[in-house]
Structure 1
Amino acid sequence: MEGDFLAFLIMVIVQVGYAGMNILSKLAMDSGMSPYVHVAYRQIFATVVIAPFAYFLERKTRPKMTRIIFCQILLSSLFGATLNQVLYFVGLRNSTPTIACALSNLLPALTFILAVPFRLESVGIRRKAGQAKVVGTVVCVGGAMLLSFYHGSALMGGSSIHWKYADNMGKTNSAETHKNNFFLGPFLVIVSTLSWAIWFIIQARMGESYSAPYTSSALICLMSSVQCGFIGLIAEHNLSAWSLSPIIRAVSSLYAGAVGSALAFCLMSWCIQRKGPLYVSVFSPLLLVIVAVLSWALLEEKLYIGTAAGSALIVLGLYAVLWGKNREAETTNTTGDEGGEKLEGKGDVEMQFSELLNGNLQIKSQATKWDEY
């Protein structure tokens, strides 16, 4: 019970940390900070924070670096850090924190769509679990389209308790503040989420031969720092654009790197090792709720019918996909415990093959050998 409560508390802290990152990043960009500069600083700060963990925790256990692993890390930095974050923060500047967080919940559905052709996931359309994953994916995509292209009337106006600093920031920098584009912003966030899903596929392959998550993350952040710095210099020639004044720019960049990248990765890795990736994924809709409340209360963001309906569909679709994954895991455990007697049809064979790719069957086999020993 104590371990369950600690894992629950840690995941809530992670989501609160991400919510703070979205709010602070939006304020920094409202102050006139370029999203390209913001992402470059984030990667630099993340590298500085996570590098000591990689050195001290994995200096004796990290595998040998090969050309294939190096190329996979390079692709991971390109899709998982550079493209993902540049597109996300440009999309955030052109939309709102609530919309950006809502569309980020498309990640499980997009990952499922990409994982099927790479044989990292099975569909199993004849089983309830497979049907739930397919229907959940369709509902997620439909919710994203509704949220992106339908605005509607306002359900709730701005809060009377809004953050005066944010209000003053908007007035002081009214000439520099970027106006929202409710088509471009959501579109870029969706492409960003697709890039993140591609990163998951690359990470699944790389994890099979390079089991040093802190080292690979430090290298990804380092490579991304170079890539984002190059993009930032092309987009922003004026050196004044790289200034960390006013203070909200420095606070936002440091927070995004230390909390949004380094700390969040360490905490989620701890939870994944003890509770599994499904447990961690379930908490992603919590971010949407926290950001929606904070944006309404602090930033005077209005809640529209399209935003509320689309967000609800995304959350429902997400839980349908997660329910299907959980049902598949339970079925796999049952068939494994009974020696495979309940394997029926091609769908179950595909499910076992997927488990073999993920290494679960190999782990179970090794555990059995230790018990016999």
Structure 2
Amino acid sequence: MTRLVNGTGKLLPFVGMMVAMLTQSGSMVVIKVAMIDDINKYVMVVYTFALSTILLLPFALFLHRSERPPLTFSALCSFFLLAFFGSSGTITAYVGIELSSPTLASALLNLVPAITFVLALIFRMEEVHWRNSSSQAKVLGTIVSVTGALVVILYKGPLIFKAYWSNFSSHILKVSPQLNWILGGIFCVADSLFTSMWYIYQSSVSKKYPAVTVIVFFQLLSSTMLCGVFALIAVRDPTEWKLNFDIGLIGILYQAIVATVIRYLLCTWCVLKAGPLFCAMFKPVGIIFTVFMGAIFLADDFSLGSLIGAVIIVVGFYGVLWGKSREENEIAKGVENLESSCHNVPLLQNRNR
């Protein structure tokens, strides 16, 4: 029974993060399609956060009522800071996707493991012992994952398959061939930085305030206010705020229900159960989903470089997971040895007497 519980404890965060990455990849494609349909990106962010807040309100009110810690001013400030990191990452991601493509945005999100690992070292949430194989695996796995992402961006190679419906899709979506990859890449890197900061701080907040739905609700509420103020300054045309029954509205619904509420809950719960580095390591998997979704829904051609990069990313991904798993096993064995030695000390002392 103990083995089953331990196995389930490791399996559920794994499944949760895989689902979260799938929803995130779908989100990038939906965002691109919606913005091509001329919806304002900042307005879309505000409506998404606002609808997500409303949807999550009943859960925040009624779940964990007996176990919910008191809402202090310090807790509210923590939620607001989390919202700042999250909303800043969302805005920079939207801008980056608009200027480039979902594939590039997903690829550059693979900087998150490296940034998170460095931040975790700075805040002493992770340790590196260079002679330890688990530490070596985590460092090398992070480097390999980032290298794979760079391969996807810099090397295309021959096409493995071409989207024959690309002309039709391009006509429908009005895809512009001139994409500002450099500026878009800078915004996507900024998204990775904010996401890494969110993971690190989320881990600390979740330990102090373990009510997941309450944390996510106040994050979304604060994000709505922050992005609302920003959008009111950036978007002066009132007609930009008008919603029609089109792809833009569908995009907002998907973003609010699937990509925000469900993904936020999954990520927050997984950070609480498995830690920030474990969750950040799933970012490389997102590019695989995005490449295939981009080929299907945006008529992006799938090249050899994308395949090679995806394989490299997966190798690095599992390398880090192996290192993390080995480190946890070593810690568990150390605790067991310490407990056994503590039990043996009184007996030895009695014998010496």
TM-score class normalised by the smaller sequence:
0.7 to 0.9
Q: Partner letter of residue 134 of structure 1?
A: V
Q: Partner letter of residue 76 of structure 1?
A: L
Q: Please list the CA deviations of residues 194-216 of structure 1 after superposition, one character each: whole Å capped at 9, or x if unmatched.
A: 11111122122222322222111
Q: 1:305 to 1:231 in 2, by over 3 A?
A: farther
Unaligned runs of 5+ in 2: 342-353
Cα displacement (A) at 1:27: 0.4
Q: 1:143 to 1:123 in 2, by over 3 A?
A: same
Q: 1:182 to 1:341 in 2, by over 3 A?
A: farther
Q: 1:35 to 1:126 in 2, by over 3 A?
A: same
Structure 2: distance between partners of 1:78 and 1:114: 17
**Counterpart selection for 1:18 from 4, 16, 24:** 24
Q: 1:118 to 1:267 in 2, by over 3 A?
A: closer
Q: Please list the CA deviations of residues 302-352 of structure 1 after superposition, one character each: whole Å capped at 9, or x if unmatched.
A: 23455444444443333222221111011111222222789xxxxxxxxxx
* Match of residue 252 from structure 2: 253
SS of the residue 1:319 aligns to: helix
Q: Partner letter of residue 214 of structure 1?
A: T
Identity across matched positions, percent:
30
Structure 1: distance between partners of 2:315 and 2:293: 22
Cα displacement (A) at 1:61: 2.4
Structure 2: distance between partners of 1:167 and 1:266: 35
* Match of residue 347 from structure 2: none
* Match of residue 318 from structure 2: 319
Confirm whether residue 188 of structure 1 aligns to residue 170 of structure 2: no
Cα displacement (A) at 1:104: 1.9
* Match of residue 352 from structure 1: none
Cα displacement (A) at 1:169: 3.2
**Counterpart selection for 1:160 from 141, 160, 164:** 164
TM-score (norm 2): 0.83
Q: Partner letter of residue 90 of structure 1?
A: V
Residues 211-250 of structure 1: pairs in structure 2 closer than 5 A? 211-245=210-244, 247-250=246-249
Unaligned runs of 5+ in 1: 343-373
TM-score (norm 1): 0.79
SS of the residue 1:126 aligns to: coil
Q: More displaced, 333-342 or 288-297?
A: 333-342
**Counterpart selection for 2:172 from 169, 190, 200:** 169
Q: CA RMSD in A?
A: 3.1
Q: Partner letter of residue 169 of structure 1?
A: I
Confirm whether residue 64 of structure 1 aligns to residue 79 of structure 2: no
Structure 2: distance between partners of 1:268 and 1:207: 11
Native 8 Å contact 1:15 1:284 kept in 2: yes
SS of the residue 2:181 aligns to: coil
Q: 1:100 to 1:123 in 2, by over 3 A?
A: same
Q: 1:54 to 1:163 in 2, by over 3 A?
A: farther
Q: Partner letter of residue 72 of structure 1?
A: S
Aligned length: 335
* Match of residue 31 from structure 1: 37
Q: 1:19 to 1:191 in 2, by over 3 A?
A: same
Structure 2: distance between partners of 1:77 and 1:146: 32
Residues 23-172 of structure 1: pairs in structure 2 closer than 5 A? 23-79=29-85, 81-148=86-153, 150-156=154-160, 158-161=162-165, 166-171=169-174
SS of the residue 1:68 aligns to: helix
SS of the residue 1:63 aligns to: coil
SS of the residue 1:207 aligns to: helix
Cα displacement (A) at 1:247: 1.0
Structure 2: distance between partners of 1:47 and 1:326: 36
Q: More displaced, 155-164 or 108-117?
A: 155-164
